[in-house]
Structures are given as C-alpha cells and as structure tokens.
Structure 1
Amino acid sequence: MERETVKSSNIASIGYDETTEILEIEFLSGGIYQYLDVPYYMYEELMNADSHGKYFIAYIKDNYEAKKIR
C-alpha cells in the first residue's frame, strides 16, 4: 500500500485502501500498523486534521481492530 508522508511528531506516513477499508499508519518509531474496517471519511478527516496524532488517538487508536505488519 502506498502511504503519504505527513508532518507529525509521532506518525511518519498514512495510507488507505478504499476497497478493503484498511488504514495503514507508519509511526516514526518504525512500526507499521493496519487498522481494519475504517470508513473513508475517517481517513479523510485524519489527513485533514490539524494534528494527525491527536486525531488518531481520539478516533482511531482504540476504536478499530489493528494488526502490526512491521
């Protein structure tokens, strides 16, 4: 999955697959996680948020099943 680099103190890049509704986040620590069944509007809101990290923690982190891929 292609990810877009973002300016964040915690997140390096963010990608999204509309077909599978998988949100992929690469953290500056090196870990890459996929969040399952994330609706497209959540991805759009995350990308447009003033703070990607704050949005992620508030709306995604504990609300969607995640799997670590690296």
Structure 2
Amino acid sequence: MDSSLINGALYWPEHRALELCLASGRRYLYLGVPAEVAEGFTEAPSKGAYFNRAIRGRFDCHPLRDQKPTPRAVND
C-alpha cells in the first residue's frame, strides 16, 4: 500500500468490518462499512484522502491492541 497515512487494510464483508493500520502503528476497526466503501478505498489513488472523506467519522470505530507481546518479568 502506497500511503503516508495508512500502511495496511483488511476487510471482512460478512461482518462489514474494515481494519486499518496507520503509519503510526495504531490499528482501528471500523464497523458497518459497506462493501462499496471498502472497494472505493482499495481503488482510491490517495488512500489518506479517501479515508478522510469517506470513512473517518462516518463509522463506529474501535482502537485495536498491538499484536506484539508485552515483555513481563518471570518469577522463578
């Protein structure tokens, strides 16, 4: 993906859910996203502009936790 704002995207049509990974490393799940909007995102020449115009603030958004394990002390 060639965007200065968004590094990756996944869409689950059966759940109408769009996951976006931002360049900052933060991930968000957008719910209720129609297939046409997700398709428009993948076809947009500017992913960031399309995101700001058609997705941001229009759908229920949930931040996702980082997938990397958090280091913890291990007791002997």
Equivalents in 2 of 1:27, 1:54: separation in Å?
13
Opposite residue 65 of structure 1, the aligned amino acid is: D
RMSD between superposed Cα atoms in Å: 0.6
Runs of 4+ aligned residues of structure 1 deviating over 4 Å after TM superposition are none
List runs of 5+ in structure 2 lacking aligned partners. 66-76
2:17 maps to amino acid = I
TM score, norm. by length of structure 2:
0.83
Q: Name which of 38, 45, 64 aligns with 2:40.
A: 45
- Counterpart of 2:6? 11
In the alignment, which of 58, 62, 67 is matched to residue 67 of structure 1? 62
Q: In the alignment, residue 10 of structure 2 is paired with which amino acid?
A: G
Larger radius of gyration: 2
**Aligned-partner SS, 2:39:** helix
Give 1:35 shift. 0.3
Q: How many residues align?
A: 65
Q: Name 1:3's counterpart in structure 2.
A: none
Unaligned runs of 5+ in 1: 1-5
Report the TM-score when normalising by structure 1: 0.90
The superposition leaves residues 10-46 of structure 1 with CA deviations (integer Å, 9 ceiling, x where unpaired) of: 1000110011000000001010000000000100000
